[in-house]
């Protein structure tokens, strides 16, 4: 039986968008939480509201470097830039983060006997030829393209998790996360939801890459965190898709954001980045069956608090110092 008493939990990438929400949830359940982050794409401000909690600790460190000997019962391994313009800034750093980071957290898990969960990604399916994507689809990935540092890095991380489980008995969990959005994304994160919302709130052109017919399936952060916690508590040692099966084209997302913000933004079309997947939607039958998990928050309902969060940020910035959302490299 898996202990449900207070645990000490390490969250790598805890200062990031997903990590900071996960820290909230784990603290709320009475756990001791250690966030380990190098603040590359995360922000100290994501931890401000947690700083006075005696059960919370922050360690500034890089997961690609050997990790301190922490006594922990669980590790959620999230440290990695997730937005294409960020992970493409330095492909070698992204690969090191994925490969050395996975080895370092797995070795820590081996030393401490901790259960360890990898934040993997729908990107491991590449530009999928099977739709929607079930976990037993092996993917269609370009090892030599702009996304390789991230999607091949995550595939290698999954392979490392599998190897450490099979050969050394490490107790692993793997979440394949599909596009997740919500408050605490950085305004210059560069992913589509934050870009469109920030552009709309500033009445700047909405930047659609390509013709906007490509699709994504958007999951609200609270649903995703619930899936993380259920997966960690389960006995499922094989990859599980976590995402919202509601599928939208990028054009549809732009229209929703413009309507919900009351924006006067026009739409502008920029080139489609190379290897940008044409469509993406999770098959979540495995999570439904084994974790009794399914998303409960629609895109429209999740966009409300997301827009409110970015509205406060935009309002706090003087108009002449507002930075533009980060655009992808082509």
> Site for ligand UDP (CB under 6 A): which residue of 124, 149, 165, 250?
250
Residue list 275-294, contact with ligand UDP (CB under 6 A): 276
The structure tokens 């990790």 sit at 67
Two tokens, residue 17: 């968008």
Residue closer to ligand UDP by CB (options 155, 216) is 216
Q: Is 214 in the site for ligand UDP (CB under 6 A)?
A: yes
Q: Which of residues 21-40 bind ligand UDP (CB under 6 A)?
A: none
CA-closest candidate to residue 239, choices 312, 137, 311, 90: 137
For the range 252-257, what are the long-range contacts, defined as Cβ-Cβ under 8 Å and sequence gap of 24 or more? 253/192, 253/193, 253/196, 253/216, 253/218, 253/299, 254/196, 254/206, 254/208, 254/212, 256/299, 256/300, 256/303, 257/193, 257/196, 257/197, 257/200, 257/206, 257/303, 257/307
Mask: binding to ligand NAD, 177-216, rule CB under 6 A, as x and -?
x-xx------------------------------------
φ, ψ (nearest 5 deg) of residue 248: -135, 145
Among the listed residues 63, 116, 200, 208, the single contact to ligand NAD using CB under 6 A: 63
Binding part of the chain for ligand NAD, among 76-84, 197-205, 246-254, 299-307 by CB under 6 A, reads 76-84
Contact status: 39 vs ligand NAD (CB under 6 A)? yes
- Comparing CB distances to ligand NAD, the nearer of 190 and 212 is 190
150 is catalytic: yes
**Beta carbons of 32 and 8 less than 8 angstroms apart:** yes
User: 């913000």: which residue's tokens?
Assistant: 261
Determine if 137 is a binding residue for ligand NAD (CB under 6 A).
no
The residue (of 163 and 267) whose beta carbon lies closer to ligand UDP is 267
- Does position 19 interact with ligand NAD (CB under 6 A)? The reply is yes
User: In sequence order, which ranges of 202-242 are alpha helices (DSSP H)?
Assistant: 221-233
Could you give the count of Cα atoms lying within 13 Å of 266 in the half-sphere of its Cβ?
2
Whole-Å CA distances, 50 to 183, 201, 289: 16, 28, 34
Tokens representing 60?
Answer: 């500034």
Q: DSSP string spanning 99-124?
A: HHHHHHHHHHHHHHT-EEEEEEEGGG
Please give the Cα distance from 192 to 249 (Å, whole number).
11
* One residue of 18, 26, 116, 198 binding ligand NAD per CB under 6 A: 18
Distance CA 240, CA 224 (A): 12
Based on the shown chain and the rule CB under 6 A, indicate whether residue 17 belongs to the binding site for ligand NAD: yes
The distance of closest approach from Cβ of residue 319 to ligand NAD in the complex, given in angstroms and rounded to an integer, is 26
Position 191 contacts ligand UDP (CB under 6 A):
yes
Q: Does 242 bind ligand NAD (CB under 6 A)?
A: no
- From residue 186, alpha-carbon distances to 20, 154, 288 in Å are 12, 22, 31
CB of 153 to ligand UDP, least distance (A): 13
Q: Interacting stretch for ligand UDP, rule CB under 6 A, among 54-62, 130-138, 159-167, 208-216?
A: 208-216
Question: CB 94 → ligand UDP: shortest distance, Å?
Answer: 13
Query: What is the closest distance, in whole angstroms, from the C-beta atom of residue 300 to ligand UDP in the complex?
Result: 18
Look at residue 216 and give the partner it binds from ligand NAD, ligand UDP, none, a contact being a CB closer than 5 to 8 Å depending on partner kind.
ligand UDP
Whole-number Å distance between alpha carbons of 228 and 219: 13
Q: Residues interacting with ligand NAD, by CB under 6 A? A: 12-13, 15-19, 37-42, 62-64, 78-82, 97, 101, 119, 121, 177, 179-180
Residues that bind ligand UDP (CB under 6 A): 83-84, 179, 191-192, 195, 207-209, 214, 216, 250, 273, 276, 328
Catalytically active residues, by annotation: 150
């Amino acid at each position: 039986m898996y202990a449900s008493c207070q645990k000490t939990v390490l969250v790598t990438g805890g200062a990031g968008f997903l990590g900071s929400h996960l820290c909230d949830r784990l603290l709320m359940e009475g756990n001791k939480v250690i966030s380990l982050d190098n603040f590359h794409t995360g922000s100290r401000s994501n931890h401000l509201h947690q700083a006075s909690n005696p059960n919370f600790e922050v360690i500034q460190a890089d997961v690609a470097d050997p990790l301190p000997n922490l006594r922990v019962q669980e590790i959620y391994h999230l440290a990695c830039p997730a937005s294409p313009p960020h992970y493409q800034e330095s492909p070698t750093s992204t690969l090191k983060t994925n490969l050395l980071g996975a080895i370092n957290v797995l070795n820590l898990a081996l030393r401490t006997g901790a259960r360890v969960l990898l934040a993997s990604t729908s990107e491991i399916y590449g530009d999928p030829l099977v739709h929607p994507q079930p976990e037993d689809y092996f993917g269609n990935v370009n090892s030599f393209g702009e996304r390789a540092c991230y999607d091949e890095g995550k595939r290698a991380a999954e392979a490392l998790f599998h190897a450490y489980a099979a050969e050394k008995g490490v107790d692993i969990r793997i979440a394949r996360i599909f596009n997740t959005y919500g408050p605490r994304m950085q305004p210059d994160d560069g992913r589509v939801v934050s870009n469109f919302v920030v552009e709309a709130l500033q009445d700047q052109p909405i930047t659609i890459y390509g013709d906007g017919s490509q699709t994504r399936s958007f999951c609200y952060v609270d649903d995703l965190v619930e899936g993380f916690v259920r997966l960690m508590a389960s006995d499922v040692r094989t990859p599980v898709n976590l995402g919202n099966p509601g599928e939208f084209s990028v054009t549809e997302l732009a229209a929703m954001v413009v309507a919900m913000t009351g924006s006067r933004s026009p739409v502008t079309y920029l080139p489609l980045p190379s290897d940008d997947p044409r469509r993406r939607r999770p098959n979540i039958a495995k999570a439904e069956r084994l974790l009794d998990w399914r998303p409960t928050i629609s895109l429209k309902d999740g966009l409300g608090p997301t827009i409110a969060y970015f509205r406060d940020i935009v309002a706090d910035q003087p108009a002449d110092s507002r930075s533009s959302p980060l655009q992808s490299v082509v």
